[in-house]
């Protein structure tokens, strides 16, 4: 497949400038509406400036205050001196002809995180585009089939690093378009990249609020999905704090097996997890959550027998849920294999017969699709990919120096 690869060093310049600046500027990207109002109040400006600036940033992808034409010249100058709008630096990006786009961001401290955009199969200009966002660098939970888990936990991402992934993805469609004619193209967000979103709770919820906000990205609440491996207490908080779609990474129908695959199960076993999921669906506030999505990775001869499917049907019988079977994506030294297609279909058949809506996630074979660590299924050999990126990045650095 042909790929267009662009390495964009411009944002590093912005970051470097900021680093050397004697009075560091406030990054407005990712700041909540309330905090932004406070920010303008402190400048003796009217609070509505906050929503004006939010629209420029999130709906038109504008980072230069002088392009925000409904602000006075004086305010534009003031903001330029004290504030900035800076997403995380794009270290590497890859746009494929089938519409899939992938970014590797270098976040403060030098760690790399990845974000992948996957269009609907028809790849129409204004069709569905799902962005898979990371919430942490690495992950502490160490699920046995997940390569992010194998990296260990490095740190939480900040609001601007989380929302910045969506900002950059939308901006990538705006090049050359005059500011007021720009439109966001990402229609769906899944918090299914690196990390466990509920273990970075406040920044993740604040970022999702900006995704839903009419002055932010204005996404529909059904099109923003948080995926969790089952951090039970935080699921109750989530139900109170924000209305988004919930996906649960279940992967096993009994505690014995789940303890092995998803170790956080030892802390929050299945009975507690299912109870929290029910509470999320039947929230006291009638917020019309209709179901949760159950994710179930298909591991050959581990969790894919008829017996497992029957157990799963019993476990989920009172929980309004849709089941999504994810063919396992192997990575270097992974101790598992992917279940055969026949096995996956037989498994899904049992669940369909038991009355469940059960889908099988498509995995497309090429590199870039594989790139969304978790959305398209975990990546084929993340270790190898990381090495490949490092080589490409080093090559680019050499080119810049010569």
Rank residues 128 and 361 by Cβ distance to ligand SAH and give the closer one: 361
Retrieve residue 6's tokens. 């662009």
Retrieve residue 361's tokens. 């996630």
C-alpha 27/C-alpha 87 separation (Å) is 9
Retrieve residue 141's tokens. 């939970």
The verdict on 293 binding ligand SAH (CB under 6 A) reads: no
Residue 380 binding result from ligand SF4, ligand SAH, none, given CB thresholds of 5 to 8 Å by partner type: none
Residue 142 binding result from ligand SF4, ligand SAH, none, given CB thresholds of 5 to 8 Å by partner type: ligand SF4
Per-residue binding letters, 179-208, with ligand SF4 (x by CB under 6 A)? ----------------xx------------
Measured from the CB of residue 328, what is the shortest distance to ligand SF4 in angstroms? 12
The residue whose two tokens read 């929050």 is: 268
Measured from the CB of residue 44, what is the shortest distance to ligand SF4 in angstroms? 45
C-alpha 356/C-alpha 333 separation (Å) is 34
The residue whose two tokens read 């037989």 is: 346
Per-residue binding letters, 99-118, with ligand SAH (x by CB under 6 A)? --------------------
C-alpha 12/C-alpha 238 separation (Å) is 35
Between the CA of residue 186 and those of 115, 118, 223, 366, what are the distances in Å?
13, 9, 10, 22
Instruction: Check if the beta carbon of residue 376 is closer than 8 Å to that of residue 141.
Output: no
Q: Which of 45, 106, 114, 295 is catalytic?
A: 114
The verdict on 344 binding ligand SAH (CB under 6 A) reads: no
Site for ligand SF4 in 110-169 (CB under 6 A): 139, 141-143, 146, 148-149
The verdict on 200 binding ligand SAH (CB under 6 A) reads: no
Rank residues 79 and 371 by Cβ distance to ligand SF4 and give the closer one: 371
The verdict on 249 binding ligand SF4 (CB under 6 A) reads: yes
Dihedral sign of CA atoms 122, 127, 194, 385 in order? positive
The verdict on 295 binding ligand SAH (CB under 6 A) reads: yes
End-to-end CA distance of the chain: 30
372 belongs to the catalytic site: yes
The verdict on 252 binding ligand SF4 (CB under 6 A) reads: no
Please give the full DSSP string across 112-163, using - where no structure is assigned.
EEEEEEEE-TT--TTS-EEEE---EEE-SS--TT-HHHHH-EEEEPPHHHHH
C-alpha 343/C-alpha 335 separation (Å) is 19
Q: Among 103, 328, 347, 356, which residue interacts with ligand SAH (rule: CB under 6 A)?
A: 328
C-alpha 180/C-alpha 299 separation (Å) is 49
Q: How many residues bind ligand SF4 (CB under 6 A)?
A: 11
Site for ligand SF4 in 355-384 (CB under 6 A): none
C-alpha 253/C-alpha 2 separation (Å) is 42
Residue 251 labeled ligand binder: yes
Residue 329 labeled ligand binder: yes
Rank residues 141 and 219 by Cβ distance to ligand SAH and give the closer one: 141
Rank residues 53 and 297 by Cβ distance to ligand SAH and give the closer one: 297
Rank residues 96 and 148 by Cβ distance to ligand SAH and give the closer one: 148
Q: Based on the number of CB atoms within 10 Å of its own CB, is 157 exposed (0-12), middle (13-18) or buried (19 or more)?
A: buried
Instruction: Check if the beta carbon of residue 200 is closer than 8 Å to that of residue 136.
Output: yes
Between the CA of residue 365 and those of 99, 126, 171, 284, what are the distances in Å?
15, 24, 27, 43
114 belongs to the catalytic site: yes
Site for ligand SF4 in 40-69 (CB under 6 A): none
Measured from the CB of residue 298, what is the shortest distance to ligand SAH in angstroms? 8
The verdict on 374 binding ligand SAH (CB under 6 A) reads: yes
Measured from the CB of residue 195, what is the shortest distance to ligand SAH in angstroms? 6
Residue 115 CB neighbour total at 10 angstroms? 27
Site residues (vs ligand SF4, CB under 6 A): 139, 141-143, 146, 148-149, 195-196, 229, 249
Site residues (vs ligand SAH, CB under 6 A): 139, 143, 145-146, 192, 196, 227-229, 249, 295, 297, 326, 328-329, 374, 377-378
List, by residue number, the catalytic residues: 114, 372
């Amino acid at each position: 497949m042909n790929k267009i690869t662009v390495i964009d060093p411009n944002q590093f310049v912005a970051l470097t400038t900021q680093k050397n600046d004697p009075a560091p500027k406030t990054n407005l990207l990712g700041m909540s509406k309330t905090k932004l109002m406070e920010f303008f109040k402190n400048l003796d400006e009217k609070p509505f400036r906050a929503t004006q600036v939010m629209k420029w940033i999130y709906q038109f992808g504008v980072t230069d205050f002088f392009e925000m034409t409904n602000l006075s010249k004086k305010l534009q100058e003031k903001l330029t001196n004290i504030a900035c709008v800076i997403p995380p630096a794009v270290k590497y990006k890859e746009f494929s002809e089938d519409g899939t786009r992938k970014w590797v961001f270098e976040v403060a401290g030098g760690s790399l995180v990845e974000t992948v955009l996957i269009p609907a199969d028809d790849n129409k200009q204004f069709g569905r585009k799902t962005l898979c966002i990371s919430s942490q660098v690495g992950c502490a939970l160490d699920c046995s089939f997940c390569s992010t888990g194998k990296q260990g936990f490095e740190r939480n991402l900040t609001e601007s690093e989380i929302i910045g992934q969506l900002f950059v993805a939308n901006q990538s469609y705006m090049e050359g378009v005059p500011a007021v004619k720009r439109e966001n193209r990402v229609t769906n967000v899944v918090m299914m990249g690196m990390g466990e979103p509920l273990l970075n709770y406040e920044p993740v919820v604040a970022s999702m609020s900006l995704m839903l906000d009419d002055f932010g990205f204005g996404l529909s609440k059904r099109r923003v999905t948080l995926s969790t491996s089952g951090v039970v207490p935080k699921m109750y908080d989530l139900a109170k704090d924000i209305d988004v779609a919930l996906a649960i990474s279940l992967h096993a129908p009994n505690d014995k097996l789940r303890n092995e695959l998803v170790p956080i199960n030892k802390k929050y076993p299945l009975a507690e997890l299912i109870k929290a999921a029910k509470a999320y669906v039947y929230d006291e506030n009638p917020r019309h959550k209709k179901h949760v999505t159950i994710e179930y990775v298909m591991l050959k001869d581990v969790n894919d027998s008829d017996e497992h499917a029957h157990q799963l049907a019993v476990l989920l019988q009172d929980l309004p849920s849709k089941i999504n079977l994810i063919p396992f994506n192997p990575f270097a030294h992974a101790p598992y294999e992917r279940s055969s297609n026949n096995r996956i279909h037989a498994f899904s058949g049992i669940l369909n017969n038991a009355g469940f809506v059960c889908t099988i996630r498509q995995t497309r074979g090429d590199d870039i699709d594989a790139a969304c660590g978790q959305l398209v299924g975990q990546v084929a050999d993340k270790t190898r990919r990381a090495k490949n990126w490092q080589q490409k990045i080093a090559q680019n650095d050499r080119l810049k120096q010569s």
